[in-house]
Structure 1
Amino acid sequence: MKNLLLLLTVLATFLVSCSTKDQTPSASVYKGAEQTIGNGKAYSWAKFSADNQPTSVGFTLTKGALDNLPHAGVALVLAFPNEAIGKIPFDHIMLDYLHTGHEPPGVYDLAHFDMHFYWQPLAERKAIPLYTAAPAKFDNLPAAGFLPSNYIRLPAGVPEMGVHWADPASPELAGKGKFTETLIYGSYDGKVTFIEPMVSHEFLKSKPNLSKNIPLPSKFAKAGYFPMKYSIKQEGDDIVVSMEDLMIMQ
């Protein structure tokens, strides 16, 4: 009888333990819709902690995505997964590939990707006209403190994007090296609208393993999550670009 009671007690303890374990929340990763690029795919994703707080967002380029890219370029809007909408700081990702790059000549005029992470809603971004059509809105710059203090404005502005801001100490701008990757901020009509890793095609093909702190502004337009780091890494056959260590900033 004692042996039977002991066996039942052990069994009950085991079942309670299993039940508790099964109910323990775990971290979650949600994946956006895949889109074709080159000979591969691109898709967004968002990661959440066990208590359902966003920890990182980004996108993945699968095997072959860097191959057979058209000379005419690529422009993909990567929507975030439905489970992440309203819970992460960004609205969407705009992924551009430019085979011959863009201005300034001798700096960014080589094959590269512009990887825009937009806070700005898609419809609002799409409505940004040519610089000559609305110079006052392009030239309405964010107030002091809302961009990293050392960043400088690049000339004019780009339709469906806005004004670009760069770190003048970047090797390609300081005359100390060839462009491989840099981090750009963007603005339009007085607001900071995007953050952008800009990365050469050559660098992405080199099996990158990059992780950097993000230069932070001293002010934020509203309280919310903001990434502390970004990374560009080869993971197996994929390239993964991440905005990481999301923290609530006031």
Structure 2
Amino acid sequence: MKKLFFACATLLMMLGSCKKDEVTTPQTYKGAEQTLGNGKAYSWVTFSENNLPTSIGMTFTKGALDNLSHTALTALVLKLPTEAVGKTPFDHIFLSFSHTGHEPPGIYDVAHFDIHFYMQPLAEREAIPPYMPNTAAKFDNIPADGYMPKPYIKLPGGVPTMGAHWANPTSTELNGGKFTETFIMGSYDGKVTFYEPMVTLALLQSSPNITKSTPIPTKFANAGYYPMKYSIKQEGDNIVVSLDEMMMMQ
């Protein structure tokens, strides 16, 4: 009888241990794939052993950087996996590629990806109009002091379906250096709306292995898990761009 009791107790301990391991194993959840070039692009989110978000990002699969349009702007909305909804401040990723880049000339007019991690709801973002005299007020309504990191400055004007863009004036490419990658912030109607790693096609094709600190403001409109780092890395045949080391900010 004692042997049977100890055998049952041991079995229960083993089952309890297995269940605990299943619960506490870090998990990565993947969003729906979309066709890009000759490959795919998709979003993902990783949670820690305690079910807290640690990274959010997107992946270019093998071939995704090949056969991209040289004439038209390529734009994709990468919806986050359902497991990420409400667990981070981010709503979706808006990925765009331009073979000729954009203004200002001589700086960002090279083939590159704009990878916007939006906190703004999709329908609200898509309703942002072109920057014109009768629409400029919401673009020019900047967040209150502290909600944008220093020394970021707002760039002139604004972009339809995106908002106003902010850059670090100490960035390499704004001080005579070559643009390879940079970190842009965004706002619209007084709110911080996106984080944006901006990366050249050439860098993505060069087996990158970059991790840098993200700019950190002193105030946050909504409490949540915000990234302390961002990464651009080759992982096997794939290339990953991510916001990492997420921490709760009040």
1:51, distance to aligned residue in structure 2 (A):
2.3
* Distance of 1:211 and 1:99 partners within structure 2: 25
Helix, strand or coil for the counterpart of 1:220?
A: coil
Counterpart position of 1:139: 140
Question: What are the residue-to-residue correspondences of 1:76-225 with 2, within 5 Å?
Answer: 76-132=76-132, 133-175=134-176, 177-225=177-225
Counterpart position of 1:21: 17
Q: Does 1:229 align with 2:225?
A: no
Q: Highest CA radius of gyration, 1 or 2?
A: 1
Gaps of 5+ in 2: none
Question: How many residues align structurally?
Answer: 245
* Distance of 2:137 and 2:173 partners within structure 1: 29
Helix, strand or coil for the counterpart of 1:246?
A: strand
Normalising to structure 2: TM-score of the pair? 0.94
Normalising to structure 1: TM-score of the pair? 0.94
Extract structure 1 runs of 4+ deviating beyond 6 A: none
> What letter is aligned with 2:107?
V
> What letter is aligned with 2:153?
I
Q: Percent identity?
A: 63
* Distance of 2:187 and 2:74 partners within structure 1: 22
* Distance of 1:220 and 1:213 partners within structure 2: 17
> What letter is aligned with 2:12?
V
* Distance of 1:241 and 1:21 partners within structure 2: 35
Give CA deviations for 1:186-232 in whole Å, capped at 9, x if unaligned.
00111110010000000000100011111111111121111111101
* Distance of 2:65 and 2:6 partners within structure 1: 56
Worse-superposed segment, 218-227 or 37-46: 218-227
1:86, distance to aligned residue in structure 2 (A):
1.2
Helix, strand or coil for the counterpart of 2:123?
A: helix
- RMSD across aligned positions (CA): 1.5
Give CA deviations for 1:133-186 in whole Å, capped at 9, x if unaligned.
4011111111111111101111110000111000111111011x2100000000
